[in-house]
C-alpha cells in the first residue's frame, strides 16, 4: 500500500531518481502555468490577474481529493503520509514575512528556480537573495529558538480541528475554493479588464471548466460517502502479519521483562491499563495510565503515542490477556509501534511479585465466568501504593529468581520528512 | 537568437490540475510533498561548508544539514530541486520561453528590479525558514493534506502580500 516510500524501501538510487522525476514534473507544471514570470505572480496582489490563486488552489484541491479518495479506498495509508507539523505562530509570522518578500521580490523560492532556468535575470538575483536569507536565518535562529519552537501542535489536520471525517473537510475545502475561483474571475474582469461593475459577466465559466469542477466535487462527495477507513478495516490490512505476531507470542512480554523495562532509565514507557476503572483503582502498576478501548480510538490519545520519541515502549496491560489483545489490534491498526502486551496480565504479575496476604488473596471465583477478570480479592483499593506496583520500591522484598526470554526490540520510526525539512 | 515564438501560458486551472497530479504523485511515491526551500538551505550550507567548515559544525542549524563529514547535498530534496530546474528548462525550451531577460514593471529599471529581487529573496528565504517551508513545501503540500498550520500560513502569505502591495505598486504597474 502506498505511500511507497521509494527512498526507504529501495535505497538512495531509486529514491533520488524518483525525487528528480517528481521535481521535473514540478518544474514543468510551474513553468507552463506562468510561474516563471514575476509580473504574472505580482499581478495577483493587484487583482489584475489571479493566476497564483487559481493555480495554487486548483493544485491543492486536486491533490487533496486524490489523496483522500485513495485513502478511503484503502490504496494509500494516510497515517504514513507526512503532514507538515503545525507550529502556529512561527508559521503565521513566517507567512506574513514571506508575503512581503513575495510582492517585493516577485517570486517564491520554487518559482524563482523556474525563472532562473528559463533565463530570467531577476529570478537569478532572487535565488541569490534566498540563499542569503536562509543563511541569515541559520545565523540568527539561536537567539529566538523558544519562539521558533513555540505553539507546537504536531500533526494536526483541518478535519481533526473541525471534528469531522476527512471527506467532509475535503468537500468543504472544495466549496471554499470554488467560491474563491468565482470571486477571482469577477475581480479580474473589474481590475484586469477594467470593466465597469455593471458590465461584469456573472457567468464567466465555459462548459468544460464547469464539468471538470463538477467531476472534482463529485469525487469529493464520493470520498465523503465512503469515509476514511475505520479501525476494523485498517486492522484487516495488517491482520495477516500482526496475527502471526500474536500467535507466535513474540509481542507478549514476561513480567520480569516488564519490570526491567519499567526501571530502565533509557526508555520512555507508556503502561496502558485497559481494565475497568474499578480494577485500576484497586491495583495498578506504577505510572500506568487507565485507558478504555474507546479512548484508544480517539485522535488526541493516539496522537500522543504516534508523536512519542523513538525510545518509547508501549505495554498494554489487562487482568489476563483478552482485552489487551483487543487494544493491541486497535493500536496496531493505527500504526503505533513498539507495542507489547504483558503476558498473563496483572494476574500473572501478582503471581510472580507476590502481594501481602493482608491486602489481597488469590481466588478464582470470578475468573470462572470471565477469563479476563481479576483473580485476586483485595481487602481495599491500594492503587499503586503497594510493593508489587513496582517491586523495586521496597527494599525489604528481594526479587524472585526469574527466567525469561527478552522480546522487546526497539523499532525506530521510519520518518518521512517534508521537502522543506 | 530565439527563433521560436513565445507561446502563451496555459489555462491556470489546467496548469493547477497538472501541478496537483504531480503533488499527488509525490505523496503516493515518497510519502511527502513537494518543496524547494529546504533544498536551498542545503545548498547554502554546502557553500558555507566549503569556506567555513568549522562554523557549520558549531552553529546547530547548519550542523543539522552539514555537520562533521556529512554532505549537505546528500538528500532527496536536492534532486527534487535539480529536477525543478530541469523541468523549467524543458518547458521553457518547448514553449519558446528560454530567453535571457528581466521581467519587471514598466516604471523601474532592470537594475532596480534586480536589487529588489535580491531583497525580496532575502526576506522570502528568512520567512520560509521561520515558517518551516515555502509556498511549495508548506502551503501547497501541507494544504493538500489539510494541515492546520499550512492553511494558516498560506492565508498569511496572501495577507502579507496584499498589505504591502499598495505601497510598492510602482514596482509592478
The tens digit of pLDDT for each residue in A386-402 reads 888 888 755 555 666 77
pTM metric for this prediction: 0.83
Decide: residue A210, CB within 10 A, 0-12 exposed, 13-18 middle, 19+ buried. Answer: exposed
Mean pLDDT of chain B: 87
Residue A412 has pLDDT above 70, yes or no: no
User: Which whole number is the average pLDDT over B110-134?
Assistant: 90
Residue B2 has pLDDT above 50, yes or no: no
Residue A96: the pLDDT is: 94
Residue A143: the pLDDT is: 86
Mean pLDDT of chain A: 87
Tell me the chain A residues in contact with residue B98 when contact means C-beta distances shorter than 8 Å: 118-119
What is the ipTM, given to two decimal places?
Answer: 0.92
Tell me the chain B residues in contact with residue A87 when contact means C-beta distances shorter than 8 Å: 132, 149
Nearest to B121 among A58, A105, A155 (CB): A105
Residue A419 has pLDDT above 90, yes or no: no
Residue A371: the pLDDT is: 81
Q: Please determine, looking at this structure, whether the domain spanning A231-389 carries the CATH number 3.40.50.1000.
A: no
Nearest CA in chain A to B93: A118
User: Which whole number is the average pLDDT over B28-37?
Assistant: 86
Residue B17: the pLDDT is: 95
Closest approach of chain A CAs to the CA of B41, in angstroms? 6
Res. A181 pLDDT band, cuts 50 70 90 = very high
Q: Is A33–B139 a contact, with Cβ atoms under 8 angstroms apart?
A: no
Residue pair B20/B27 in contact by the 8 Å Cβ criterion: no
Q: What is the pLDDT of residues A324-337, one digit of tens each?
A: 999 999 999 888 88
Interface of B with A in 86-115 (CB under 8 A): 86-92, 95, 97-105, 110, 113-115
What does the domain layout of chain A look like in residue ranges? 6-226, 231-389
Residue A317 has pLDDT above 90, yes or no: yes
Q: Is B163–A99 a contact, with Cβ atoms under 8 angstroms apart?
A: yes
Residue A359 has pLDDT above 90, yes or no: no
Tell me the chain B residues in contact with residue A36 when contact means C-beta distances shorter than 8 Å: 88, 92, 97
Nearest CA in chain B to A115: B88
Residue A56 has pLDDT above 80, yes or no: yes
Residue pair A8/A88 in contact by the 8 Å Cβ criterion: no
Task: Round to whole Å and give the CA distance between A102 and A93.
Answer: 14
User: Which whole number is the average pLDDT over B93-107?
Assistant: 85
Residue A368: the pLDDT is: 66
Amino acid at each position: 500500500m502506498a505511500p511507497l516510500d521509494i527512498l526507504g524501501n529501495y535505497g538512495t538510487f531509486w529514491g533520488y531518481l524518483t525525487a528528480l522525476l517528481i521535481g521535473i514534473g514540478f518544474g514543468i507544471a510551474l513553468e507552463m502555468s506562468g510561474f516563471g514570470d514575476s509580473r504574472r505572480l505580482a499581478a495577483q496582489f493587484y487583482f489584475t490577474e489571479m493566476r497564483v490563486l487559481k493555480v495554487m488552489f486548483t493544485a491543492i484541491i486536486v491533490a487533496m481529493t486524490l489523496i483522500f479518495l485513495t485513502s478511503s479506498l484503502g490504496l494509500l495509508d494516510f497515517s504514513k503520509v507526512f503532514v507538515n507539523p503545525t507550529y502556529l505562530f512561527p508559521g503565521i509570522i513566517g507567512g506574513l514575512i514571506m508575503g512581503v518578500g513575495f510582492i517585493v521580490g516577485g517570486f517564491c523560492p520554487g518559482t524563482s528556480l523556474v525563472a532562473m532556468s528559463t533565463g530570467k535575470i531577476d529570478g537569478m538575483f532572487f535565488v541569490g537573495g534566498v540563499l542569503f536569507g536562509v543563511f541569515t536565518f541559520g545565523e540568527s535562529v539561536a537567539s529566538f529558538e523558544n519562539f521558533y519552537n513555540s505553539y507546537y501542535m504536531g500533526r494536526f489536520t483541518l478535519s481533526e480541528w473541525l471534528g469531522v471525517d476527512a471527506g467532509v473537510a475535503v468537500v468543504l475545502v472544495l466549496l471554499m475554493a470554488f467560491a474563491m475561483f468565482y470571486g477571482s474571475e469577477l475581480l479580474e474582469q473589474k481590475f484586469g479588464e477594467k470593466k465597469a461593475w455593471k458590465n461584469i459577466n456573472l457567468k464567466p465559466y465555459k462548459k468544460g471548466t464547469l464539468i471538470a469542477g463538477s467531476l472534482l466535487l463529485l469525487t469529493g462527495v464520493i470520498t465523503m460517502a465512503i469515509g476514511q477507513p475505520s479501525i476494523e478495516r485498517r486492522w484487516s490490512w495488517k491482520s495477516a502479519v500482526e496475527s502471526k505476531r500474536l500467535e507466535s507470542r513474540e509481542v507478549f512480554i514476561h513480567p520480569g521483562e516488564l519490570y526491567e523495562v519499567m526501571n530502565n532509565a533509557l526508555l520512555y514507557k507508556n503502561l496502558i491499563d485497559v481494565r475497568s476503572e474499578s480494577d485500576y483503582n484497586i491495583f495498578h502498576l506504577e505510572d500506568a495510565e487507565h485507558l478504555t478501548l474507546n479512548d484508544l480510538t480517539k485522535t488526541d490519545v493516539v496522537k500522543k503515542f504516534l508523536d512519542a520519541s523513538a525510545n518509547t515502549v508501549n505495554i498494554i496491560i489487562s487482568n489476563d490477556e483478552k482485552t489487551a489483545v483487543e487494544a493491541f489490534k486497535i493500536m496496531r491498526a493505527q500504526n503505533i509501534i513498539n507495542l507489547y502486551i504483558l503476558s498473563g496480565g496483572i494476574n500473572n504479575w501478582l503471581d510472580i511479585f507476590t502481594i501481602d496476604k493482608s491486602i489481597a488473596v488469590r481466588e478464582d471465583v470470578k475468573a470462572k465466568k470471565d477469563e479476563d477478570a481479576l483473580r485476586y480479592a483485595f481487602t481495599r483499593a491500594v492503587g499503586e501504593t503497594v510493593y508489587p506496583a513496582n517491586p523495586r520500591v521496597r527494599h525489604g522484598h528481594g526479587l524472585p529468581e526469574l527466567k525469561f526470554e527478552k522480546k522487546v526490540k526497539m523499532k525506530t520510526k521510519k520518518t518521512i520528512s517534508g521537502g522543506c525539512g | 537568437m530565439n527563433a521560436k515564438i513565445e507561446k502563451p501560458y496555459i489555462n491556470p486551472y489546467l496548469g493547477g490540475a497538472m501541478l496537483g497530479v504531480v503533488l499527488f504523485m509525490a505523496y503516493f511515491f515518497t510519502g511527502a510533498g513537494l518543496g524547494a526551500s529546504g533544498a536551498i538551505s542545503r545548498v547554502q550550507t554546502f557553500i558555507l561548508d566549503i569556506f567555513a567548515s568549522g562554523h557549520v559544525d558549531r552553529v546547530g542549524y547548519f550542523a543539522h544539514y552539514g555537520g562533521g563529514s556529512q554532505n549537505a547535498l546528500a538528500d532527496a530534496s536536492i534532486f527534487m530541486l535539480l529536477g525543478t530546474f530541469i523541468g523549467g528548462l524543458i518547458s521553457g525550451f518547448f514553449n519558446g520561453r528560454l530567453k535571457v531577460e528581466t521581467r519587471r514593471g514598466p516604471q523601474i529599471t532592470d537594475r532596480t528590479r534586480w536589487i529588489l529581487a535580491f531583497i525580496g529573496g532575502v526576506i522570502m528565504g528568512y520567512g520560509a525558514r521561520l515558517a518551516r517551508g515555502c509556498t511549495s513545501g508548506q502551503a501547497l503540500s501541507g494544504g493538500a493534506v489539510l494541515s492546520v498550520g499550512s492553511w494558516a500560513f498560506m492565508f498569511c502569505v496572501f495577507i502579507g502580500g496584499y498589505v504591502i502591495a499598495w505601497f510598492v505598486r510602482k514596482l509592478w504597474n
